[in-house]
Amino acid sequence: MDFRLRESSEARRAEVRAFLEEHMSLALEERVYRTGVSHDAAFTQALVDRGWIAPSWPVEFGGQGLDPEEMVAVGEELRLADAPMYGIGTTNMVSAVILAVGTDAQKTEIVPKALAGEIVIVLGFSEPEAGSDLAAAVTRAERDGDEWVINGQKMFTTNAQIGDYAFLLARTNTEVAKHKGLTMFLVPLDQPGVEIQAVFTLSGERTNIVFYNDVRVSDAWRVGEVDGGWRTMTVALTNEHAAGFAAVIDRLLVAAESWARESTDDDGVSRMEDETVREALGRTVIDLEVSRLLQRRVAWMAEAGETVIAEGPMSKLFSSEALKDRAQDMVEVVGPDALRSYFDPSAPSHGVIEHMLRFSLGTTIYAGTSEIHRNMIAQRGLGLPRSG
């Protein structure tokens, strides 16, 4: 069995590295960490110019038609560099849903602008009382002639402050089972009645609470059938649940290795000679390898036309939990200095270890928490009954 990527995929990796050398400057990295916003207009434009804004999309839609394995190489390099891709990721995710179920007018209006990097689309799913259980959403959309009137509150709408549209999950029917009374809308965020309030997470990522007070949206912005929102959203979430964090573990490993090589203990002995350090590095290498293979299996299945069932959740669950555990190990072996942050010039490995400690916690929550992923693996993979 050969687990390596094909030569053509490795060639893509080299191209992405060269691109990042040119466009992922330290100044940009600092801006992303300072603002907590994983989106940058100039970087996005550079990707557009290179034809890489949506490289997996078919050529006829403006992509490059890269296959899932090539996308693994591209994604690994972008994540290893912590490139500002979050806004592009959500925009592409929603554009793909519009291509699948949107109207011709929506496709014409949205998709070319998304591919030109001109718009940002954000995800308006979670609510204060509906995160893991999204079907419990209570944000209301009520019909008024050719328009809908939206009232409610969404939590964690990341990038709403720079977003052009929110892909909004709203309740349109209270008389049916909760999954059956939901509808999706693309809500222009410059509408009167939209109020955006900043929330900063532990890792410094900027997200938002968004209030919708009598926000009027034309029926032309409804995506999919009335009360058919659950099916529309499932298309979007399937991709999210297949996320993996192998390349982020790699970023942690690179930072920890460079610290171990460059620093010495009080007796002047290289930290690399310290057994505890070597053990922590070894565990990280193993977790990185397992995470990579789980992620590559998902890509391989997609390429082979197989349906990904529990394999996507396994990849997301294992890699995010491993990232969290290994970041904690690294802080322990490095000691108090590991808690110096990115903006402290004396921080080991440029503050990456400290950032990973905080960043890793969110990875076990968004795109579905670890508990929800364990439930999915139990139900879909093992055929166990639903938990309560």
Ligand X SMILES: Cc1cc2nc3c(=O)[nH]c(=O)nc-3n(C[C@H](O)[C@H](O)[C@H](O)COP(=O)(O)OP(=O)(O)OC[C@H]3O[C@@H](n4cnc5c(N)ncnc54)[C@H](O)[C@@H]3O)c2cc1C
Question: Quick one: which H or E segment has residue 313?
Answer: helix 311-334
Distance CA 204, CA 201 (A): 5
Is residue 321 a contact point for ligand X (CB under 6 A)? no
Nearest residue to ligand X by CB is 131
Taking CB under 6 A as the binding criterion, the range among 75-83, 199-207, 248-256, 303-311 that sits at the site for ligand X is: 199-207
Is residue 43 a contact point for ligand X (CB under 6 A)? no
Is residue 369 a contact point for ligand X (CB under 6 A)? yes
Taking CB under 6 A as the binding criterion, the range among 41-49, 123-131, 230-238, 323-331 that sits at the site for ligand X is: 123-131
CB contact set of 267 (below 8 Å; sequence gap of 6+): none
| Closest CB to ligand X among residues 52, 366 | 366
CB contact set of 367 (below 8 Å; sequence gap of 6+): 240, 241, 243, 316
| Closest CB to ligand X among residues 56, 369 | 369
Distance CA 386, CA 84 (A): 37
Query: What does the chain come to in residues?
Result: 388
**Binder to ligand X among 207, 232, 315, 319 (CB under 6 A)?**
207
Shortest distance, position 126 Cβ to ligand X, whole Å = 4
Encoded tokens for 136: 């419990």
Is residue 125 a contact point for ligand X (CB under 6 A)? yes
Based on the number of CB atoms within 10 Å of its own CB, is 17 exposed (0-12), middle (13-18) or buried (19 or more)?
middle
| Closest CB to ligand X among residues 88, 372 | 372
| Closest CB to ligand X among residues 162, 285 | 162
Is residue 126 a contact point for ligand X (CB under 6 A)? yes
Taking CB under 6 A as the binding criterion, the range among 15-23, 76-84, 151-159, 324-332 that sits at the site for ligand X is: 151-159
Give the binding-site size for ligand X (rule: CB under 6 A).
22
The pair phi, psi for residue 185, each rounded to 5°, is: -130, 155
Taking CB under 6 A as the binding criterion, the range among 120-128, 265-273, 306-314, 329-337 that sits at the site for ligand X is: 120-128
Is residue 372 a contact point for ligand X (CB under 6 A)? yes
Shortest distance, position 129 Cβ to ligand X, whole Å = 8
Distance CA 147, CA 286 (A): 54
Is residue 123 a contact point for ligand X (CB under 6 A)? yes
From residue 155 to residue 174, the character string flagging contacts with ligand X as x (rule: CB under 6 A) and all else as - is: -xxx----------------
Is residue 36 a contact point for ligand X (CB under 6 A)? no
| Closest CB to ligand X among residues 201, 341 | 201
Is residue 360 a contact point for ligand X (CB under 6 A)? no
The pair phi, psi for residue 38, each rounded to 5°, is: -90, 60
| Closest CB to ligand X among residues 20, 199 | 199
Distance CA 115, CA 274 (A): 50
From the CB of residue 386, how many other CB atoms can be counted at a distance below 10 Å?
Answer: 7
Shortest distance, position 246 Cβ to ligand X, whole Å = 19
CB 139 within 8 A of CB 131: no
What would the DSSP string read from start to end of 198-258?
EEE-TT--EEEEEEEEEEEEEGGGEES-TT-HHHHHHHHHHHHTT---HHHHHHHHHHHHH
From the CB of residue 101, how many other CB atoms can be counted at a distance below 10 Å?
Answer: 16
Shortest distance, position 152 Cβ to ligand X, whole Å = 13
Is residue 379 a contact point for ligand X (CB under 6 A)? no
Is residue 249 a contact point for ligand X (CB under 6 A)? no
Based on the number of CB atoms within 10 Å of its own CB, is 163 exposed (0-12), middle (13-18) or buried (19 or more)?
buried
**Binder to ligand X among 339, 365, 378, 379 (CB under 6 A)?**
365
Residue ranges in contact with ligand X by CB under 6 A: 122-126, 131-132, 156-158, 201, 205, 207, 362, 365-366, 368-369, 371-372, 375, 387
